[in-house]
Amino acid sequence: MSKWSGKVSSAARVKSSQVQSSLLLARGLVCAFFSLLLLQCKPASRPQPIAEYEPVAGFTLLADVAPSIQQDIRYATANNFLGRPVDGYFINACVITEAAAMALERVQQQAVNLGYSLKVYDCYRPQHAVDDFVRWAADEDDNLMQSRFFPALNKDELFPQGYIAERSGHSRGSTVDLTLVPLDTQQPAASPLGGGYDCRGSVMQRYPDNSIDMGTGYDCFDEKSHTDNPDVTATVRANRDLLRDLMEQSGFENYSQEWWHFTLNNEPFSDQYFNFALPQ
């Protein structure tokens, strides 16, 4: 019995049955009122933790298979189109299927021979994180990162136009977002929430990144990011083609709207969307 109902019972014992019923009615009304109030005041719901990370059969940390590939898992940080870490990303580390990791290691060997390294921005993405994207897109008051990531679009156009998916290949574990960086370079330090960057601008106008020039920043939701966009410079064309060629040679296919997004052709979990949390 709750503290609240205990108090009502002791008071009711000394009153007539009519008063008792009135009290019960009043209590019901008060409870209903406060329940309604609580519902109104409840903060925007943030779903509670999904399963703790346990190594899932067929998945691995990319670093265990291909330790030389650079990692900058943007959704584990504030450096992304939401401007805050995304639900389900607890550490800045790439978790991916073993098959995709081994294929990436093959790409890395080719890249290193040419003086580059791969740098991954996103790998396995829990469905929970995708759901966070969906809630973010529905909040029309939050446009904190628009000028940097989708300057020409409203956020309600990002899903319909195919820049973010409600059922993402990333949740199947064999899709990866990545670029090429010159060997022995590192991500420059910069404040993710600093203003004035435009992902469609020149390298100097974009958020600092050690990526070779791909024509836009990562997660620039814009036609300029379409891999075969004909208006990019010759250098950008060559860089995008190089990344795509290297990835295709090891069995990945590019998504035509995003130069950075690739899926392994023979993925091991072609119809399974996972929702285990990333390790802490």
Footprint on this chain of Zn ion (rule: CB under 5 A): 177, 261
**Rule CB under 6 A: is residue 217 a binding residue for ligand LVM2DEV6?**
no
Positions at the binding site for Zn(2+): 170, 177, 261
d(CA 184, CA 278): 28
Strands (E), the chain: 59-61, 70-71, 95-97, 116-122, 175-182, 252-255, 258-264
Output the smallest distance, CB 111 to ligand LVM2DEV6, in A.
21
Region binding ligand LVM2DEV6 by CB under 6 A among candidate stretches 23-31, 37-45, 91-99, 166-174: 166-174
Pick the binder of ligand LVM2DEV6 from 83, 169, 173, 251 (CB under 6 A): 169
Q: What is the number of the residue whose Cβ is closest to Zn ion?
A: 261
The CA distances from residue 23 to 6, 14, 81, 265, in Å, are: 13, 12, 53, 68
Positions at the binding site: 170, 177, 261
* 258 assigned to active site: yes
Output the smallest distance, CB 261 to ligand LVM2DEV6, in A.
5
**Rule CB under 6 A: is residue 153 a binding residue for ligand LVM2DEV6?**
no
- Alpha-carbon Rg for the chain in angstroms: 25
DSSP designation for 157: G
Footprint of ligand LVM2DEV6 on residues 27-66 (CB under 6 A)? none
Sorted by sequence, the CB contacts under 8 Å of residue 131 that are 6+ apart come out as 47, 87
DSSP one-letter string for 170-237: GGGT-EEEEEEEETT--PPP--TT-S---TTS-GGGSPP--S---SS-TT--SGGGSTT-TTS-HHHH
Whichever of 132 and 177 has its CB closer to ligand LVM2DEV6, that residue is 177
Q: Please, what is the end-to-end C-alpha distance for the chain in angstroms? A: 39
d(CA 193, CA 83): 7
- Which of the listed partners (Zn ion, ligand LVM2DEV6, none) does 219 bind, with a CB threshold of 5 to 8 Å by partner kind? ligand LVM2DEV6
Q: How many Cα atoms are found within 13 Å in the side-chain-facing hemisphere of 58?
A: 10
- Which of the listed partners (Zn ion, ligand LVM2DEV6, none) does 169 bind, with a CB threshold of 5 to 8 Å by partner kind? ligand LVM2DEV6
**Among residues 54, 140, 258, 267, which one is catalytic?**
258
**Rule CB under 6 A: is residue 177 a binding residue for ligand LVM2DEV6?**
yes
- Which of the listed partners (ligand LVM2DEV6, Zn ion, none) does 165 bind, with a CB threshold of 5 to 8 Å by partner kind? ligand LVM2DEV6
* Contacting residues toward ligand LVM2DEV6, per CB under 6 A: 122, 163-165, 168-170, 177, 219, 258, 261
